[in-house]
Amino acid sequence: MSDHFRLTLAQLNPTVGDIAGNAAKARAAWAKAKAAGADMLALPEMFLSGYQTQDLVWRPAFQADLRNALNALAQDCAQGPSLGIGVPLLENGALYNCWAVLAGGQIATVIRKFHLPNTSVFDEKRLFASDSISGPYRMGPIRIGTPICEDAWFEDVAEAQAESGAELLLVPNGSPYARGRYDTRMGHMVARVVETGLPLVYLNLVGGQDDQVFDGASFVLNPGGQLALQLPSHAEAIATVDFTLGAEGWRAQTGPRALLPDSHEQDYHTMVLGLGDYLRKSGFSRVVLGLSGGVDSALVATLAADAIGPENVHCVMLPSEYTAPHSVEDATDLAARLGCRLDEISIEGPRAAFESALAPLFTGLAPDVTEENLQSRIRGTLLMALSNKTGALLLTTGNKSEVAVGYATIYGDMNGGYNPIKDLYKTRVFEICHWRNATHRSWMAGPAGAVIPPRIIEKPPSAELREGQRDDDSLPPYPVLDAILEALVEKDCSVSDLVAQGHARDVVERVEHLIAISEWKRYQSAPGPRLTDRALWLDRRYPLVNRWRDRS
């Protein structure tokens, strides 16, 4: 029996529902594996269907198309390395999250997922059936155990496969990015290696799907937890790793070990990749956004320029009588630095027309936030008109702090199809702007240098909907607000917890109240890339009507 096994790993970016396109990617990767003399090609979890499918996977016609595509893939890849690929399959009336091994023109082995995640963004217990733990399968000289994603986060599956004779653990994954997630994954996988004494391959998807961005960062571990191979994050990659059999068992030969970036770069790359894939996979090639001269829209414009190129980013300044001259100057400066088109449309004419039309019904009523929101809604209408006319996707620009407390106008500045900074607190927005001005990477399509004018980052934030308005007139200062929000949203802390930490009770209770009464706005907000474990969508689901308030 041979003492050598060559495995090609394909960390690739599928598209949900594009079965033919995903199969074509698999064939192209298989051809590279064949050219490399590999014994097997491995693709990640749910690759053929794309991930996550949500209820699309229940459609009988979708299931049939997947089965036909899998059979065709087996036939096309019969003469060469075996191929392992993630795919949902209907078997004996039950739907499973599977990993199919294709060899000799047939579906040789089917592994069915045992542990179905049902927390955070995952709802697999609703979608799939769980099967018993699958044993190892032979691949040439080696016996492979395949815990599928969540299966490897528990010791039982890997332990059972090792006890049944597995000599290598190959873990296909669909694990989306969240800040700090890489260390969590690595900790679990090292534990499996230590427990079983086997080498382990962790193979992850890459690419954006709705609010989730899969960050790749696949790796190979030898017994003892030694890193043998590290693929880059946020990028497609194909690598071949050799395993050799020695006196102590199978070991992976050391290969390339990409350096993973810090959390600011990972966040930024996630937003760029998420936006770019949302556009590409939805059929858009251009975007339009309102550029206010403030830091949020400046960052969104920069992200868009880095995702699809500045020539495809249309910025629009929509000034009113309350727009400060420096805001127009700063927006102009930003667009020039990025190389984006900038147009200006005054909202004073439409505003006068709206106020004239409403005047008979507003007689005797004092001006209030209604008039402020009207300005925002006029801007939203004009931007949506430009989006409809030009076919460019409208980007909205509210940060997580604003989204959390509802400091945004529904049907106004919340208009848009995608929000790249939806999961980025305001204080983090400032940090990311400083980082981008000091950093440029090859994957950024925008220019290098300080593209965001320093004055935009340094000036006090303002919605500029009334004379002399500042955000901290209506909200606590952002460092205070964000500290409270992180405790309430990310950690489920109580009001009394925050008071004990030194926050004023009235401020904490007001923020907690604003979060609760803004839920209906969030239900109607645009999707955006998930950066944390508590993004304000699937991670945190609260009722629209909710009279409970924390008064602990």
Is 315 catalytic? The answer is no
Burial grade of 449 (CB within 10 A; 0-12, 13-18, 19 or more): exposed
491 classed as catalytic: no
Backbone φ, ψ for residue 155 (5° rounding): -80, -20
Contact 300, 421 (CB under 8 A): yes
What residues contact residue 547 under an 8 Å CB cut-off, 6+ apart?
none
- Distance from C-alpha of 58 to C-alpha of 68, rounded to nearest angstrom: 16
Residue 407 in 3-state DSSP?
A: coil
256: left (phi over 0), alpha (psi -120 to 50) or beta: beta
Q: How far is Cα 139 from Cα 154, in angstroms, rounded to an integer? A: 24
**Nearest in space to 176 (alpha carbons), one of 207, 140, 214:** 214
Find, among 59, 172, 51, the residue nearest to 110 by Cα. 172
Q: Does residue 25 have an active-site annotation?
A: no
Q: Packing angle between helix 478-485 and helix 426-438, nearest 10 degrees?
A: 110
Please report how many Cα atoms fall inside a 13 Å half-sphere around the Cα of residue 311, on the Cβ side.
Answer: 1
Q: Report yes or no: 49 and 24 within 8 Å, Cβ to Cβ.
A: no
Backbone angles phi, psi at 515, to 5 degrees: -60, -45
Rounded Cα distance, 47 and 477, in Å: 45
Query: In whole angstroms, how far apart are CA 232 and each of 22, 109, 149, 156, 238?
Result: 21, 30, 19, 29, 10
Catalytic residue, candidates 45, 124, 167, 402: 45
- The owner of tokens 């979708």 is 62
Q: Is 126 helix (H, G, I), strand (E, B) or coil?
A: helix
Q: Which of 25, 113, 281, 422 is catalytic?
A: 113
Cα–Cα distance, 109 to 189 (Å, whole number): 24
> How many Cα atoms sit within 13 Å of 253 on the Cβ side?
13
149, 315, 340, 433: the catalytic one is 149
DSSP track, 462-511: ---SSTT--HHHHS--HHHHHHHHIIIIIS---HHHHHHTT--HHHHHHH
- 144-172 burial by CB neighbour count: b if 16+ within 10 A, else e? bbbbbbbbbbeeebbbbbbeeebbbbbbb
Tokens of 506: 């009235």
Q: Which residues are catalytic?
A: 45, 113, 149
